[in-house]
């Protein structure tokens, strides 16, 4: 089960989350979201645990808990929404008027 962890302090690192969630079971992956240009934390992460019961226990125990001076928001991650391409529909463009 993939969980969303929000309202993170910008000082929080992946190891902090790994240690916190491992108190409730086996953690498969922790992915702290960072800004691609500055590499600074964006204030949220995703934590994956294979065992649903352990993940539910972690969500119950950690939602509303304080970490590094911030109150965490922990819930089941929603599927990623499809976003339109920033470059439009694509395809090739033919400029017949420019041919000689």
Distance CA 90, CA 24 (A): 46
CATH number of 2-76: 3.30.70.330
Pairing between β-strand 41-48 and β-strand 73-76 as defined by DSSP bridges: unpaired
Distances (CA, A) of 8 to 22, 29, 94: 17, 17, 49
Q: What is the pLDDT of residues 5-52, one digit of tens each?
A: 999 999 999 999 999 999 999 999 999 999 999 999 999 999 999 999
* Residue 79, helix vs strand vs coil: coil
For the whole model, what pTM was predicted?
0.79
Q: How confident is the model at residue 100 (pLDDT cuts 50, 70, 90)?
A: low
Domain ranges across the chain: 2-76
The DSSP bridge pattern shows strands 29-34 and 41-48 to be: antiparallel
pLDDT at 96 over 60: no
Asked if pLDDT for residue 97 goes beyond 70, the answer is no
Tens digit of each residue's pLDDT (9 = 90 or more) over 43-94: 999 999 999 999 999 999 999 999 999 999 999 999 877 777 676 655 555 5
pLDDT recorded at residue 93: 54
Distance CA 4, CA 58 (A): 12
């Amino acid at each position: 089960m993939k969980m969303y962890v929000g309202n993170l302090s910008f000082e929080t690192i992946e190891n902090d989350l790994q240690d916190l969630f491992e108190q409730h079971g086996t953690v498969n992956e922790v992915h702290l979201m960072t800004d691609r240009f500055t590499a600074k934390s964006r204030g949220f992460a995703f934590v994956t645990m294979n065992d649903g019961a352990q993940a539910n226990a972690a969500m119950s125990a950690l939602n509303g808990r304080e970490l590094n001076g911030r109150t965490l928001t922990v819930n089941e991650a929603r599927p990623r929404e499809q976003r339109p391409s920033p470059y439009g529909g694509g395809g090739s463009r033919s400029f017949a008027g420019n041919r000689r």
